[in-house]
Structure 1
């Protein structure tokens, strides 16, 4: 397995790992877990995974959320939340703004795993940001002003604005 840090200052690309066989390789699992903690974002290029393999590879990082059945979702796989440009293939209009996945939940989603099945010729980029670095770069006066603030979602779930 090769781990190559990304030039953005966080994140790493991982090469030479077979996600479909990850469940049998405890060393690879531990290496990926450590890399996620160190880099905050992992990009692992590879082939399209069958749903069972996608779930098994995702479970290396912890328990998975389950989502209610919906048009375009894969029947029998509530752990997979499909995002698509067509409603018949998954949820549309998702992530067209800066957000943190699952922040509307009482217990926020601690991390997200994305598995791309099809990539458009143009566009389709997913952007990520290092919120730990954003916090570190704030002036101390600003940190003191916002540290105790809370935010309320439309569904009335309340969370700290920042979690340093």
Structure 2
């Protein structure tokens, strides 16, 4: 079978899905994100996201309002509590991912405990009991070169762990601590712990799920053993065969499954004021999973 799958929408326009790596990342063409999706086309895009974890659209020069309308077709939107409403008329769900914000993360990293792993592979809103399921990210202001984003197939990462490490991680919980940033934004929330090995609600796939930007500690282990196991997780995330790397261009859109992947923003563009805008999509509140 060809690596490029031709899928047909209700409107008889071809939807082209071109995989970028065997298990993660695909580019989608043949759809205009300015227009409402038919139910069949929406379902084809969702199916591609479930299969490839992250999909990309090129040459989609859409407005904030059109970005929000597109994302809303996949579920209710979530307003992040640290969103800064600095632009008049901006949809409350739009979260600006600006270069200046990375400087804040770098300052926080400088004061981290010496035994913390200095990695920033992460997933969005994992600090919540019910994290958002999806994210739509739109390029706004880009450097001429640099500023790529890397996504990791967290299911493949789990499967490629050494057998003994996989067995040790089963049933363990890891903390997701975002309280410093939340408190600065006037929002209080308890520290949450999720299973390190989670089962994806829709696909049934086992996922290796740690957020290294949120001070992870494995519950019930001493600090040395926790760090040693987290180093194993970080090492498998870093392996290129588990990743897809996306180079942004004007008009680029990324749409990914927070439950199935982690990502890493590459900071190699100096002081350029890189800016992207993100919209998060709520997940079902299935309290039996909490």
Distance in 1 (alpha carbons) for counterparts of 2:149 and 2:22: 14
More strand by share: 2
1:29 aligns with 2:29: no
Can you give the 5+ residue segments of structure 2 that lack an aligned partner in the other structure? 1-14, 107-119, 180-190, 199-205, 207-290
Higher CA-based Rg: 2
Query: In the alignment, what sits opposite 2:23?
Result: 9
Query: In the alignment, what sits opposite 1:89?
Result: none
Query: In the alignment, what sits opposite 2:132?
Result: 109
Distance in 1 (alpha carbons) for counterparts of 2:88 and 2:57: 23
User: Which of 1 and 2 has higher RCO (CA within 8 Å, sep 6+)?
Assistant: 2
Q: Deviations over 1:36-80 (max 9, x none)?
A: 112111011123321221011112222221134525466441111
Q: Deviations over 1:82-105 (max 9, x none)?
A: 11124xxxxx11888211111111
Query: In the alignment, what sits opposite 2:161?
Result: 138
Query: In the alignment, what sits opposite 2:143?
Result: 120
Aligned match of 2:74 in 61, 80, 94? 61
Q: 1:111 to 1:117 in 2, by over 3 A?
A: same
Can you give the 5+ residue segments of structure 1 that lack an aligned partner in the other structure? 87-91
Q: TM-score, normalised by structure 2?
A: 0.50
The alignment yields a C-alpha RMSD, in angstroms, of 2.2
Query: In the alignment, what sits opposite 1:162?
Result: 197
Q: TM-score, normalised by structure 1?
A: 0.84
Tell me whether 128-137 or 32-41 shows the greater mean CA deviation: 32-41
Checking the alignment, whether the CA contact within 8 Å between 2:84 and 2:95 is kept in structure 1 is: no
